Structure 1
Amino acid sequence: MCDYVNHINEDNDFIRYRDILIIYLMGVEGFRNVEVHRLCDEDINWEYRSINVRGKGHGGMVYPCDATFTVLERYLAARPRPTKDGTLTPTIISDHRHNFGRVSRNGIRDIMNRILRGCDLKHHGYSCHILRHSCGTNLYSETKDIRLVQEQLRHSDPKMTARYAHVHERMTNRHTEKLAPKID
């Protein structure tokens, strides 16, 4: 798997840590693009080290790993003062024209497409959502707990989550191996 973080060639700490944070939120914590886009400072509970996710109708509380919180802390330390979005403070902000407002969903896609191209993983049909799928597949591979994957990805339907177990099964058991002729 590509080391996405090493494909961020950016000297500006704000932009570097923003892009790394997006990777962590999507690839490690399983956030959707819209959830990264909607994230506000007010959603972060530092005492319990949790984040209230504003999802597509069924958000919820997630408890990111320490590495994600470390990147979040570094990003917030380097981030310029954001432009408020009503009463809320957008966490992930744009550097576009230096207005420092909420980054758009297209902006997140552009950031991730640039990183995927740097890893030589940007192909037709691949988008930043590939990181969410990687999170589900890798989490199932590590835990074999489909319920945990369902909770982490905030799926309302367990059938949606079951595909990660199926992918793991197919990757682990290469059934066609039995059909391959032996080579001396």
Structure 2
Amino acid sequence: MEDVPRPLPSPPVKFMDRLRAFMRAKRLAFRTEETYCRWIRGYIRFHGMQRPEHLNGEHIDDWLRHLACDRSVSINTQKTALNAVVFLYRQFLRLDIGTLNFTRANKGRKLPVVFSQDEAMRILSFLKGESWLVASLMYGSGLRVMEAVRLRIQDFDFEQQAITVNEAKGNKARRTLLPAALVAPLQAQVEMAMALHRRDCEEGVGAIYRPEANSVSAKHDKTALLYVFPADGPAFCPSMQVMRRHHIREQQVRRAVARAIGKAEIRKAASCHTFRHSFATHLLAAGTDIRTIQELLGHSDVKTTMIYTHVIGEHANDTLSPLDRLAAEHGIS
């Protein structure tokens, strides 16, 4: 279960276990916990497994310079690494690291790959069942794959044709579009999930996971909390120490989409996330306000959303290539 925190010893003794316990007390998203721990482990290994409290700001500068100069990480990747070690020192260890003076990464952010509308529909045509429905939500609602597979019955407002994304990146809830074309398939999916839950309850495996409390609810009437895309079968949850049914795995959807992209003969470096990029780009090309798109995507800074203006470029203004103009003048096809 890739998005369920593993249990920690009580009391936690090892350094990383104590760090994880502190993060959970701070209510950090599990994805953030995993990311920060990965970077902090890398920082410790880089300095020969020395204890972080024996290191200082100069050691942080050396590590961040290594990431920028030796590993050529992107600007955003270096920022994430910086956030991780700053959290380690300032919040967990309560140590002053002074003013950092490291080499900044200069590997710029690449423009996102997007599908044309025809390409998106061709890919969807090679998908079926839950994979088709999840991919349709990624394209039609701008969801990340992890947001789509975690959707619960309570997240759908069929009357208002809206989705509330509660388990989003950074635990920042937002509201986005629910395409009219998906209302009927989703209602059928909800009925299937509820029927499956009734059977699970009869078999004693009907516990429902509540991420905000990191616990399970044994109350069988809490159907609003049911995952809309349940896993094929129940499995043992080591965190909760119960048998229960989780949602389908992200990797399951990623593999299905990758196969569909191949069958559709799309020659782009595309993935599930390309549907989200395409959602934003196609809305922008259709004249949707950039601030609206920012809210639908859940970006905290409009600068992040502005990258889609570069994807569209001048084509939105019907700019003609000089070669095409020359070809038209001389009748060259």
TM-score (structure 2 length as normaliser) = 0.46
**1:144-155 superposed matches below 5 A:** 144-155=288-299
**1:32-181 superposed matches below 5 A:** 32-53=144-165, 54-57=167-170, 58-79=172-193, 81-82=196-197, 84-85=208-209, 86-87=216-217, 88-95=225-232, 98-99=233-234, 101-121=246-266, 123=268, 125-173=269-317, 177-178=321-322, 181=326
How far apart are residue 46 of structure 1 and its match? 4.1
Residues 55-96 of structure 1, C-alpha deviations (whole Å, 9 max, x = no match): 11222122412222222113234456156433332112233x
How far apart are residue 135 of structure 1 and its match? 0.3
State how many pairs are aligned.
174
Write the distance in 2 (CA, Å) between the matches of 1:122 and 1:73.
Answer: 34
Q: Is the 8 A contact 2:143 2:276 kept in 1?
A: yes
Matched to 2:179, the amino acid is C
% same residue: 25
Write the distance in 2 (CA, Å) between the matches of 1:56 and 1:149.
Answer: 16
Write the distance in 2 (CA, Å) between the matches of 1:126 and 1:49.
Answer: 28
How far apart are residue 162 of structure 1 and its match? 0.7
Matched to 1:21, the amino acid is L
Write the distance in 2 (CA, Å) between the matches of 1:36 and 1:7.
Answer: 19
Write the distance in 1 (CA, Å) between the matches of 2:260 and 2:161.
Answer: 27
RMSD over aligned CA atoms reads 2.5
Matched to 2:310, the amino acid is H
Matched to 1:55, the amino acid is A
**Residue 61 to residue 70, structure 1, CA distance change in 2 (3 Å):** same
How far apart are residue 44 of structure 1 and its match? 2.4
Write the distance in 2 (CA, Å) between the matches of 1:63 and 1:172.
Answer: 24
How far apart are residue 121 of structure 1 and its match? 2.5
How far apart are residue 23 of structure 1 and its match? 1.7
Partner of 1:143, secondary structure, is: coil
Q: Is the 8 A contact 1:21 1:75 kept in 2?
A: no
Matched to 2:196, the amino acid is R
